[in-house]
Copies of this chain bind each other. A is one copy, B any other.
C-alpha cells in the first residue's frame, strides 16, 4: 500500500504548538509572572441563552421515543437551511434552501470541498494566510501559487491582468490580517473569476463582525458571484460554536463548470462521506438565527470588537502600523524596530508577559508582522495594553 506522498511535502505545522511550547518554557522560568494572551484564536464568551435553551429542549426530545430523531438529511434539516436563507435575505441575497449545506464547520468544508475538484487545477492562495488552506492542497498534490499581501496593498491583493488560476481562496474579513475587501474589490475578483472560469472559495467566517454598512457581508452581494463562488460560513465566532461545531456552505445552482453543477457534486460528496450534523447542534444553530439569538450573539461580537478597538487605539498611540481591528477580531501589526516575527514574540513575552502569534507562521509575507486577537477578556486586554504602552522599545 502506498501512502499519499503529498503528506510528505507538508512543512512543520506546529505554529501554535511552538507558541505553546515557548510559553510553557517562559512560565517555567518565570513562575511568579502572569502571562496574558492576545493570541487566542478561540471565543471565550458562553453560548447565548436562547441557544442553550434550544439545545436543552433538543436533548430532552432525543431522550423520548415519541420525539427521538435518528439520521437527518446529510445536507441538514430544512428548518435550519431555511433559517440560513432568511439570514441571507436580510443581507439582500436570495438563496434557495437547496443551495445551503449545513456542515460541522468551515474548516471541514473548506478541506472537503477539494474532493470535487480535479487534482490538476492550480490553486491561488494569499500569503499571509490561514495555514489550513495550504496544507489541504499540499495533501491533495496540487500546485499552489501565492499572491502577495503586503503593506503596499493593505494585505488586500487583487488579481493582475495576467493572473491565471483555477481555484482562488479569499477570506474576508481576513484571518490573520483582519483586512476586509470592499464591494468594488470583490467585484474585480468576481469579474476575474468569471473571465477565467475560476472558482472562488470565499471564507466568510467573520462576516458577523462587519460594522461598516458599506462593506460586503457575503460574496453574493456582488453581481455574478453566484456563477463563480462557493461561500463558507461558520457559527464558530458568530455564535460561540467553536466547541459545538456548525457551519454552512452555499453552493449556488448557477455555479456550473464543464457543464456540471457543483451543487450536485457537493451534495453527492456529502451524501457519500458525511452523515449530517447533530440534531441538538442544529436546533442550537436555528436559535442563533432567531431575532433574540442574533441580538444575544451581537452582544458578544460587540464585546470582542470593543477589545479590538482598544488594541487598535493602543497601537495607534505607539505609532505601530496595523490593519484589521474594526470589522474583524484580528489585528495585524508591523513589528516595531524591524524586529522579526519571532524576535518580537520573544521580546513581548519576556518584557511584557504578553503572548501573540508571529506573522511568519501564516506565510513568508508575514515575516516582520504579528497577530493579536480580540477574544480575551476585557480585563486581560486592558492589562495587556497597559504593559504594551510601557514596553521598553
Contacts and interface: CB of A to CB of B under 8 A. Distances in A.
Interface string A263-278: 0010011011111111
Contact of A2 (B65, B120, B276): B120
A289 to B, nearest CB: 18
A243 B281 contact: no
A148 interface: no
A107 B273 contact: yes
Given A64-B46, A118-B5, A275-B107, A269 B139 contact: yes
Contacts of A5: 118
Contacts of A112: 112, 273
A234 to B, nearest CB: 9
Contacts of A121: 1-2
Q: Determine the interface band of chain A, counting residues with CB < 8 A from chain B.
A: 35 or more
A71 B106 CA distance: 13
A178 B236 CA distance: 40
Interface in A49-99: 49, 51-52, 55-56, 59-60, 62-65, 68-72
Contacts of A51: 63
A166 interface: yes
Contact of A70 (B42, B49, B135, B279): B42
A303 to B, nearest CB: 11
Contacts of A203: none
B44 A136 contact: no
Contacts of A62: 46-47, 52, 55, 243-244
B72 A243 contact: yes
Given A4-B116, A52-B63, A116-B4, A276 B46 contact: no
Nearest to A10: B268
Which of A4, A72, A277 counts the most chain B CB atoms within 10 A? A4
Contact of A135 (B63, B118, B272): B272
Interface string A246-278: 000000000001101010010011011111111
Contacts of A3: 116-118, 257-258, 260, 262, 265
A125 interface: no
Given A56-B59, A72-B243, A242-B70, A273 B1 contact: no
A336 interface: no
Contacts of A1: 117, 121, 166-167, 197-199, 257
Contact of A42 (B2, B71, B107, B136): B71
Contacts of A166: 1-2
A389 interface: no
Contacts of A44: 65, 68, 70
Interface string A185-222: 00000000000011100000000000000000000000
Interface string A152-185: 0000000000000011000000000000000000
Given A1-B198, A121-B2, A198-B1, A272 B60 contact: no
A68 B49 contact: no
Given A1-B197, A68-B240, 6 more contacts: A2-B121, A7-B265, A46-B68, A51-B63, A62-B243, A105-B275
9 contacts: A3-B117, A7-B116, A44-B68, A44-B70, A47-B59, A62-B243, A107-B275, A111-B274, A243-B278
